[in-house]
Amino acid sequence: MTSPIRTERHGDVLVIISDNPPVNALGQAVRAGLATGVEQALGDDSIRAVVIRCDGRTFFAGADITEFGKAPQSPSLPEALDKLEASDKPVVAAIHGTALGGGCEVALACHYRVAVPSAKIGLPEVKLGLIPGAAGTQRLPRLVGAEAALPLVAVGDPISAKKAQAIGLIDEIVGEDSLEADAIAFARSKIGQAVSRSSEGTANEDGIRNPDIFDQFRAQNGRKMRGFDAPNAAVAAVKAAGELSYADGVKKERELFMQLMNGTQSKAMRHYFFAERAANKINDVPADTPLIPINKVGVIGAGTMGGGIAMNFLSAGIPVTILEMQQEALDRGTSVIRKNYENTAKRGRMTMEQVEGAMGLLTSTLDYADLADCDLVIEAVYENMDVKKQVFAKLDEVVKQGAILASNTSYLNVDEIATATQRPGYVLGLHFFSPANVMKLLEIVRGANTRDDVLATSMKLAKKIGKVAAVSGVCPGFIGNRMLSQRQAQANKLIMEGANYWDVDDVLLEFGFPMGPFQMGDLAGIDIGWHRDPSKVTTVREALCAAGRFGQKNGKGFYDYDEARNRTPSDEVKQIIADFAAREGNAQRDISKDEIRERLLYPMVNEGAKILEEKMAQRASDIDVVWINGYGWPLYTGGPMFWATTVGLDAVVAGLEKHGLPASHYLRQKADAGNGFD
C-alpha cells in the first residue's frame, strides 16, 4: 500500500504532505508517515526546517474515529507528536480547512503554526464524549493560557484563524492561495533560532494565579454541560496543566481520556456522529441523483411555524415569498420575523446589515399567483386534511411544473395530500420543529410517489439551511410524533394511577431531557384548544383550564410559578387529578421512579421497533437522530434505539411485560437474536 504521506524538498525545507481523503484523518498510516517524515528531516543535514501540510479540502480533521475502540496500532499519535516536537529543526504547521482534534494537536506539537484566513481550529473531542488524548489539554494551556484554552477544550467549538491568532494559537495568517510558499518562507525565517515547544511554555500562569476561573467556567456553562462527563474531565485536564509538570499532566490527561473512551457516553456520542451522517443517505436513491436548483422558496402561512420556516431560507440567502390570507396576519408575521432577527443582532450574533440583508430577501403576498416561479413551496397552514388539500390543489394550479410542493404537516397522510395535485412525484413532507428557525431537526417525509430528485434535493437543502435531516415513511406522526404519542399516553396513564406528575417530569429531567411533558404543557399553554365550557370536562387538561390554570402564561398550570418562573408542584392540581381519576374509576397507588422511567421510555423503543419493521425508518440510527435533534433526547445516551441496545433489548422486553405492555414482534426477535439494533 502506498503511504498517504509524501515529502517534497524545497531547498533546505522539507515539506511533509498528507493526502488521505476525505478529511486527512490521522489513521495509522498517516501517523507512521509523519514520524518517518520527521526522521528523514532530522537525518539529512541539508534540511534545516520542516513544513507539514495537507492536500485536499482540509488539514488533519482529527483522529480516525473509525479506529476508536479498536486495538491501538503503533505509532500512537502522542508518540508521533513527541518525536515531531523534539526536533531541533523548526517544524511549521501550514493549516487550511479545519484543524480539528488530533489535527489541532499536530499543530500544537509543531513549533509554529501558520494558517490561511478561512481556516478553523478546534478541539471538538468533547462532542464525541472525549477529551484530546495526544497532549492537547497540556500543550494548549501552556501556549495560550488556561482561560483561553478552557472553552476550546471543554465546549469544543472551533475558532477562526483570526481568533486563534489573537489568543496566540496561530503565529501568522498567510495568503489564502499561497499557503505552502508562505509557510516555507516562515519556516526559513526561523532557521538558526531556538525552537519554541508548547510543552515547555508557561502561559498558563493566569490559571495558576486565579484558580477561580475553573469554577466560574463550570458555573457559566452548567446548562450546556449538564449530564455530560467529558466537559468536566476537560476542565480537570486543563486545570492539571497549571498544577502538574508536563509529564504528569500528560499522564493525567491519558487517565481521564481512557476513562471516557471506555465509558458508555463516548460510545453513544460516536454512534451519533456516524448516525447523523448516515441519516443523510437514502438507501435506494443514488448519490449522483441530479438536483433541482432551489433559488426561490414560497411559504404558506406567516404564523409561528411559517415565519420560522421562512427564516431558515432567508438566513441562508435564499429569497422567500410568504403568503397569508389576510393583510393583518401577513404584517404581523413579517414583523415577528424582523423582531426575531433584531433580537439576534442585539445578542451580537448578527449585524444590522445582515438583518437588513435577510429581510431584503423577503416578499410578502396575499396572492397565490406570486408563488408561480418558486422552486419549492412549503405549506404551514392549519393541521386539517381538507384545508391542506385545498392549498395543494391551488398550488398545483399556479406553481410552475418541476417545483417541489411540501407540507409541514406533523402527522397527516402526505400521500393523501398529494392526491390533490396532478404531480404527486413532486410532493413530500418537510416537517420542521418549533421554533423552526432554531430546532435542528428536519423530518423529510417520503410519499409513495415522491421522486428521487425531489428527495435528494430536500436532503441537500436541509444541510444548506443548517438542519439535520432524517427520512420517514408515511405513517401517523411519522417517526418522532408517533413515538412521542406512546410516551404521552403513558404519562397520562401514570398520573391517573397515582404517580406524582412532578415525578414524571423529574424522571425525564434526570434522564437528561430538558423538560418533562407536564412542564412542556405549561410552557406551551394548556388552554390550547380549550372549549371554555367547564361543564364539559373530559380530560385533566380541561379540568385544569376549568380551574383557571392555563400554564406559565397566568402563573399556574400543572405547577405554580413564581416571578422567576420557578415551578412548585401544586396540591390543588394533585387533588384535581385524584378527583378525576376517582371519577374514571382509577385506583391510585404509589408508583416508583423506576416504573415511571420504564413505562415512559420502553414503549417508545417498542414503537421505534415497529417503525423499523414497517420500514418507515431506513435504519435504527435515523430514529436516534430524530429524537436527539427534535425532542431533546440526551445525546450522551445515543438516542432511544442505541440506548435500548445499551440497556439490553431483553431487559426492555422484560420491562414491558412486567408493566403489562405488549412487546412488538420485531423487538422480541431482535432481543432473542441478542445483538441489539444495528
Tell me which residues touch ligand COA (CB under 6 A): 22-23, 25, 61-66, 98, 100-102, 124-125, 128, 277
Nearer to ligand COA, 21 or 402 (CB): 21
Quote the least distance from Cβ 309 to ligand COA, whole Å.
23
Quote the least distance from Cβ 308 to ligand COA, whole Å.
24
- Other beta carbons within 10 angstroms of residue 176's beta carbon come to 11
Quote the least distance from Cβ 319 to ligand COA, whole Å.
25
Residue located via cell numbers 403513558: 490
Nearer to ligand COA, 277 or 493 (CB): 277
Catalytic residue among 85, 125, 443, 607: 125
Quote the least distance from Cβ 32 to ligand COA, whole Å.
17
Nearer to ligand COA, 15 or 61 (CB): 61
Quote the least distance from Cβ 65 to ligand COA, whole Å.
4
Catalytic residue among 79, 85, 105, 147: 105
- 168 burial level (CB within 10 Å; 0-12, 13-18, 19+): middle
Nearer to ligand COA, 98 or 519 (CB): 98
Nearer to ligand COA, 381 or 471 (CB): 471
d(CA 423, CA 406): 12
Close Cβ partners of 64 (under 8 Å, ≥ 6 residues apart): 25, 26, 27, 28, 30
> How many Cα atoms within 13 Å fall on the side-chain side of residue 605?
33
Quote the least distance from Cβ 640 to ligand COA, whole Å.
22
Nearer to ligand COA, 277 or 665 (CB): 277
Quote the least distance from Cβ 63 to ligand COA, whole Å.
4
Beta bridge partners of 427: 405
Do residues 109 and 38 lie in contact, with contact meaning Cβ atoms separated by under 8 Å? no
Determine whether 105 is an active site residue.
Answer: yes
Quote the least distance from Cβ 23 to ligand COA, whole Å.
4
**Distance set, CA 655 to CA 300, 450, 485, 524, 652 (Å):** 45, 39, 19, 32, 5
Quote the least distance from Cβ 70 to ligand COA, whole Å.
12
Quote the least distance from Cβ 100 to ligand COA, whole Å.
4
d(CA 463, CA 459): 7
Strand 120-122, strand 98-100: pairing = parallel
Quote the least distance from Cβ 297 to ligand COA, whole Å.
23
d(CA 23, CA 97): 9
Strand 320-323, strand 362-365: pairing = parallel
Q: What are phi and psi of 373, to 5 degrees?
A: -100, 20
Q: Which of 544, 574, 538 is nearest to 556 (CA)?
A: 544
Q: What are phi and psi of 427, to 5 degrees?
A: -105, 140
Close Cβ partners of 189 (under 8 Å, ≥ 6 residues apart): none
Do residues 604 and 643 lie in contact, with contact meaning Cβ atoms separated by under 8 Å? no
Nearer to ligand COA, 55 or 416 (CB): 55
d(CA 659, CA 167): 57
Strand 49-54, strand 172-173: pairing = unpaired
Q: Which of 145, 134, 278 is nearest to 208 (CA)?
A: 145
Cβ density class 547-571: b for 16+ within 10 Å, e for less: bebbbbeeebbbbbbeeeeebebbe
Quote the least distance from Cβ 469 to ligand COA, whole Å.
13
Write the DSSP string, 175-230.
-TT-HHHHHHHHHHHTTTSPP--GGG--TTHHHHH-THHHHHHHHHTHHHHTT-SH
Nearer to ligand COA, 113 or 482 (CB): 113
Nearer to ligand COA, 33 or 124 (CB): 124
Write the DSSP string, 351-366.
-HHHHHHHHHTEEEES
Which helix (H) or strand (E) covers residue 79, if one does?
Answer: helix 77-86
Nearer to ligand COA, 275 or 376 (CB): 275
Edge-to-edge order in the sheet of strand 13-18 = 5-10, 13-18, 49-54, 91-95, 112-115, 172-173
Q: What are phi and psi of 60, to 5 degrees?
A: -45, 120
Quote the least distance from Cβ 66 to ligand COA, whole Å.
5
DSSP alpha helix (H) spans, 352-406: 352-360, 385-398
Q: Where are the beta strands (DSSP E) in 375-462?
A: 376-379, 404-407, 427-432, 441-445
d(CA 2, CA 293): 40
Beta bridge partners of 120: 98, 160
- Alpha-carbon dihedral of residues 636, 639, 641, 643, nearest 10 degrees? 20
Nearer to ligand COA, 414 or 444 (CB): 444
Determine whether 383 is an active site residue.
Answer: no
Strand 468-472, strand 559-561: pairing = unpaired
Nearer to ligand COA, 230 or 381 (CB): 230
DSSP label at residue 280 = T
- Other beta carbons within 10 angstroms of residue 368's beta carbon come to 17
Nearer to ligand COA, 23 or 491 (CB): 23
Residues belonging to the active site: 105, 125
